[in-house]
Structure 1
Amino acid sequence: MTTQTPPTGPTPLPDTVQSPDPVASPETPESPDALQSSGTVEVLRYSAFTSDPAGGNPAGVVLDAADLDDARMLGVAAEVGYSETAFITAQDTAARRYRLRYFSPRGEVAFCGHATIATAVALAARTGTGELLFDTPVGEIRVGTSLVDGLIRATLTSVPAHSRPAEDTTQVEPALRALHWTRDDLDDSLPPHIAFAGNDHLVLGVRSRAQLAALDYDFDALHDLMRHHGWTTVHLVHRTAPDRLDFSARDPFPVGGVVEDPATGAAAAAFGGYLRALGLVTEPLRVHIRQGEDMGRPSDLYVDLHPDDPRVRVSGQAVPLPSQGR
């Protein structure tokens, strides 16, 4: 998986890294302990898009990775074993601005939504809620944090999202073969697209919730197809009711070294751009995506869309995971 070059934009952070502010706002929950270290690297572990540690998508968070090179960050991500681990490589705590990179067990990822949410919550627990700025390989990502019912909620604003129809012969048909699906399994109202909000995702709508639940795909075939086209995940969705934009979703992620993501904020943002491209966003609205149920890690992602804004806002909570070995 290749890293995208950051677009021209705000002045990047300096290489000198300031020490993080250890004082948390009195309104925020106590900071969790570092749950495990990888060598001398302190790794926090959070589950994003859930209020229950048994649900959501786990992410590693390294709050000070200034001295880590690419090989070390990849090694830490592989040891942690989650779909992604986020690394803060530079920071300006006064401006609440951070340089953020993401690694899966197999390589660097240009943008990861659930690890962004997890990092924002970890920072808010230490420095107080409010707005954070992340300089990522795809550009600046703003994240608002607030305290809701005793838990920190984060809302990321994506880079401008867009979507285009997928090519039948070279993209859709090979994906269907890898998924062991046929054209008859697809929902005609949700045509196959390549959707983008920082990285590319193949979007396939399926008619039957049972078909989605029975997912059993060819890992190697889908892996090779995704690497060839540069897709981060395949976003498989089922519309739960015809009168509202609520969806069940599953996201195979073989290129990241894991079978499936239980909550995929980057795909949710791209899916928001997909819905706009289909002409389904005629007024400001919120979309609910329920993901991870079939993995036993239920997750809730909330996607806010506006017909005149190509950016997508994705919201969710994140909670620290229990320390391993306790």
Structure 2
Amino acid sequence: MRTLSMFQIDAFAERLFTGNPAAVLILDEWLDDAMCQAIAAENNLAETAFACRRDDESGIFELRWFTPTQEVAFCGHATLATAHVLATAYGIGGEITFATREVGMLRVRPEGDRAYTLDLPSLPPREITPPQALAGLFPSGWRTVLQAMDNLFVVLESEAEVRGYNPDMVGILALTGLSLCITAPGDAAGPFDFVSRYFAPGVGIPEDPVTGSIHSSLVPYWADRLGRNALAAFQASRRGGRLDCRLADDRVQVTGRALTFMEAEITLPVQ
């Protein structure tokens, strides 16, 4: 048997038990894919992140993310969680660079007071003809429907509609191969420029509490609609989380806080 350290971090969280929990393992060498997936399934969190420093002088960490059912191409909150673990538990100072398999280099800059700024690609969504399956999910209609990567974005009229939405997980699963984000402008008297929620039952995440990656698409969309590049966002899940966002040319910068909930030792069979 072998043991590894594992951390559970609340990302995009102002206090414990809010934001989005992610498990993080910092590896000396890569585990095989089946073991990574088994650990993620055992954790049963939205994401388990695995990071391993490259065997060179670059200081870059390779980073991968697994849901309980599969590896995913892009995850923001577990990237923030991994940077927090490296900064607080492994003594890595300054900006941290992660190499990913599908979205290039991601950089995370510590800001102090448990806050970190993620530098993410800008992935503007494109307007599409709505899939027929959406009609049953939104009987009151929508403003517009967009898509970026494997995500559908349904723009609703109001923050109240987003907060009060009752998701039909079977219906969302019918959007084969796609996850669903709903979004709307924030209330005029409220502190947020836009709000969102995100549902990905097809990859084992019924509702993701706070999703950094979708803001790579939400920020360019709302920056264009609202006419400003600095935006305050809130993901209105039960746990909830604030994201302070900025559009900077072809990058999206997202700032949020992270807290360590647990450090554990896990036991694995020898590979």
Question: Which TM-score applies when normalising by structure 1?
Answer: 0.73
SS of 1:127's equivalent? coil
The match for 2:250 is 310
Alignment of 1:20-169 (within 5 A): 40-64=3-27, 66-91=29-54, 95-125=58-88, 126-137=90-101, 138-148=103-113, 151=114, 153-168=115-130
Name which of 245, 265, 271 aligns with 2:212.
265
Whole-Å separation in 2 of the counterparts to 1:256 and 1:64 = 24
Whole-Å separation in 2 of the counterparts to 1:105 and 1:65 = 23
The match for 2:147 is 194
SS of 1:68's equivalent? coil
Between 313-322 and 107-116, the greater mean CA deviation after superposition? 313-322
Amino acid at match of 1:164: R
Amino acid at match of 1:259: P
1:225 deviation in Å?
Answer: 1.2
> 1:203 and 1:299, CA in 2 relative to 1: closer, same or farther beyond 3 A?
same
Alignment of 1:285-300 (within 5 A): 285-292=229-236, 294-295=237-238, 297-300=239-242
Which structure is higher in strand share? 2
Whole-Å separation in 1 of the counterparts to 2:98 and 2:263 = 27
Matched, 1:252 2:199: yes
Aligned length: 261
1:144-176 deviation line (CA, Å, top 9, x unaligned):
11313xx2x1111112422211222xx2x3134
SS of 1:75's equivalent? helix
1:109 deviation in Å?
Answer: 0.4
> Quick check: 1:65–1:87 contact (8 Å CA) kept in 2?
no
> 1:83 and 1:202, CA in 2 relative to 1: closer, same or farther beyond 3 A?
same
Matched, 1:174 2:133: yes
1:2-61 deviation line (CA, Å, top 9, x unaligned):
xxxxxxxxxxxxxxxxxxxxxxxxxxxxxxxxxxxx973432100100131110000010
Whole-Å separation in 2 of the counterparts to 1:123 and 1:136 = 17
Report % sequence identity: 30
> 1:316 and 1:94, CA in 2 relative to 1: closer, same or farther beyond 3 A?
farther
Amino acid at match of 1:101: R
Whole-Å separation in 1 of the counterparts to 2:174 and 2:69 = 14
1:226 deviation in Å?
Answer: 4.2
Whole-Å separation in 2 of the counterparts to 1:52 and 1:99 = 28
1:94-114 deviation line (CA, Å, top 9, x unaligned):
533100001000101001000
> Quick check: 2:11–2:78 contact (8 Å CA) kept in 1?
yes
> 1:245 and 1:164, CA in 2 relative to 1: closer, same or farther beyond 3 A?
farther
The match for 1:19 is none
> 1:223 and 1:39, CA in 2 relative to 1: closer, same or farther beyond 3 A?
farther
> 1:145 and 1:61, CA in 2 relative to 1: closer, same or farther beyond 3 A?
same
Amino acid at match of 2:251: R
> Quick check: 2:192–2:234 contact (8 Å CA) kept in 1?
no
Matched, 1:239 2:185: yes
| Structure ranking higher on relative contact order (CA contacts 8 Å, 6+ apart) | 2
Whole-Å separation in 1 of the counterparts to 2:18 and 2:174 = 29
> Quick check: 2:5–2:263 contact (8 Å CA) kept in 1?
no
Between 79-88 and 38-47, the greater mean CA deviation after superposition? 38-47
RMSD between superposed Cα atoms in Å = 2.5
SS of 2:133's equivalent? helix
Whole-Å separation in 2 of the counterparts to 1:313 and 1:104 = 24
Whole-Å separation in 2 of the counterparts to 1:50 and 1:247 = 18
> 1:242 and 1:52, CA in 2 relative to 1: closer, same or farther beyond 3 A?
closer
Query: Structure 2: which 5+ runs fail to align?
Result: 265-271
